[in-house]
Amino acid sequence: MTVSNNTPIKISDKQIATEFLNKYDTFLFDCDGVLWSGTHLLPSVVETIEMLKSLKKTLIFVTNNSTKSRKQYTKKFESFGIKDITEKQIFGSSYATAVYIKNYTDLKPGEDKIWVFGEQGIEDELHDMGFETLGGSDERLMAEWNSDTTPFLPLDPKVKCVVAGLDTKINYHKLCISFQYLTQKEPKTQYIATNIDTTFPSKGMLLPGCGSMIDLLTVSSGREEPPNCGKPSQKMLDTVFKAYPELQRSKCCMVGDRLNTDIRFGLEGNLGGTLLVLTGVETEDRLLQNSDHGLGLPKYYANKLGDLYEFTH
Ligand SMILES: O=C(O)[C@H](O)[C@H](O)COP(=O)(O)O
Ligand SMILES: [Mg+2]
């Protein structure tokens, strides 16, 4: 195989792993497919995080998973034995969406309401920004769809925006009301997506992801594709650097499992490095044939994040 100058370097031994670790002082970690796969913690992740902490590295977590708020994610880290991760270190696409709405729309907290297609994480982050939400995890949406009995019709005139994210309890009732808010309001509601990931890695399987659910709403409603607030949006990376102004992009490395979100996020953000791990949605074959996909290539790749610990201990 000819090695071109941008062929990803595989972290496959102690020397490469050590050189890699010494290159960066900050690591931005994707979560699903890197730290865990659904409810399954990936091998040597706790040891790797503890090792990086002992090396005085700055650790930041940037996930497109909008089902949890930053606060809820601190509990998920604890549940996996990944200790002392603070809300400030976590940037989820639900938080990025709330920041986007605050900074880039004319929606008024306390006045304009937001319809949520998605889970508690989106609702919590929007509530923290002062917005009232409808839909989301409202249990009444779990009832079978019936246009005569749904409590969500007539539409609420104060709803001015639809935010769509991953909903692992998706059903026809939720789709129907979201569809109404996307098509039956004049002036049109604003339509915003938390992220574009088409699949969701869980316990070594691929499942339908947020992006696929949003495409269903977009295609059926005939609406334009909504802005995406998660990776690879640079607005999300700007939010990170605003919270950590001391960071140097050249000393930061983005670690992810998806080329078109995580690695693109790092490349377009001019970070010093990118590391793709093969425990999520990408495969080594697809990566090495990647030139067919026109997707950016990571600087490094590894079978799993835990190899950073295993090769150096
Ligand atoms: O479907 C989704 O929303 C994504 O697959 C998932 O949430 C990605 O999370 P991440 O890999 O960015 O932690
Ligand atoms: Mg991922």
Mapping DSSP to helix (H, G, I), strand (E, B) and coil, where does residue 37 land?
strand
Instruction: With beta carbons less than 8 A apart as the criterion, state whether 275 and 20 touch.
Output: yes
Distance CA(7)–CA(167), nearest Å, equals 37
Phi, psi of 208 (to 5 degrees): -60, 135
Ligand nearest to the CA of 277: 2
CA of 34 to the centre of ligand 2 (A): 6
The ligand 1 atom nearest the CA atom of 200: 5
Identify the top-confidence range among 2-11, 18-27, 288-297.
Answer: 18-27
Residue with the bigger pLDDT between 123 and 1: it is 123
Residue 289 pLDDT level (bands cut at 50, 70, 90): confident
Q: Across all residues in the chain, what is the average pLDDT? A: 96
Phi, psi of 131 (to 5 degrees): -95, 140
- Which residue's CA is the closest to the ligand 1 atom numbered 11? 32
**Torsion angle defined by CA atoms of residues 36, 39, 42 and 46, in that order, rounded to the nearest 10 degrees:** 80
Active site residues per annotation: 30, 32
Q: How deeply is 33 buried, as exposed, middle or buried, from its count of CB atoms within 10 A (0-12, 13-18, 19+)? A: buried
* For residue 302, pLDDT beyond 60: yes
- Angle, in degrees to the nearest 10, between helices 210-221 and 172-183: 50
* Mean pLDDT, residues 279-286: 94
Lowest mean pLDDT among 118-122, 135-139, 205-209, 287-291: 287-291
The ligand 1 atom nearest the CA atom of 165: 3
Q: Give the ipTM.
A: 0.97
Handedness of CA 52, 54, 59, 65 (dihedral sign): positive
* For residue 2, pLDDT beyond 90: no
* Mean pLDDT, residues 5-15: 92
Residue 290 pLDDT level (bands cut at 50, 70, 90): low
The ligand 1 atom nearest the CA atom of 280: 11
Question: Which of 29, 65, 202 gets mutated to test ligand 1 (max ligand atoms within 8 A of its CB)?
Answer: 65
* For residue 305, pLDDT beyond 50: yes
Predicted confidence at residue 3, as pLDDT, reads 45
Which residues does ligand 1 sit against, CB inside 6 Å?
Answer: 30-33, 63-65, 166, 195, 197, 200, 209-210
* For residue 208, pLDDT beyond 90: yes
* For residue 148, pLDDT beyond 70: yes
Residue 6 pLDDT level (bands cut at 50, 70, 90): confident
Phi, psi of 187 (to 5 degrees): -60, 155
Domains and CATH numbers, the chain: 9-64+231-310 (3.40.50.1000), 107-221 (3.40.50.1000)
Question: Which of 63, 212, 216 gets mutated to test ligand 1 (max ligand atoms within 8 A of its CB)?
Answer: 63
> Tens digit of pLDDT for each residue in 102-121?
999 999 999 999 999 999 99
Predicted confidence at residue 294, as pLDDT, reads 67
pTM, 2 dp: 0.96
β-strand partners of 208: 199
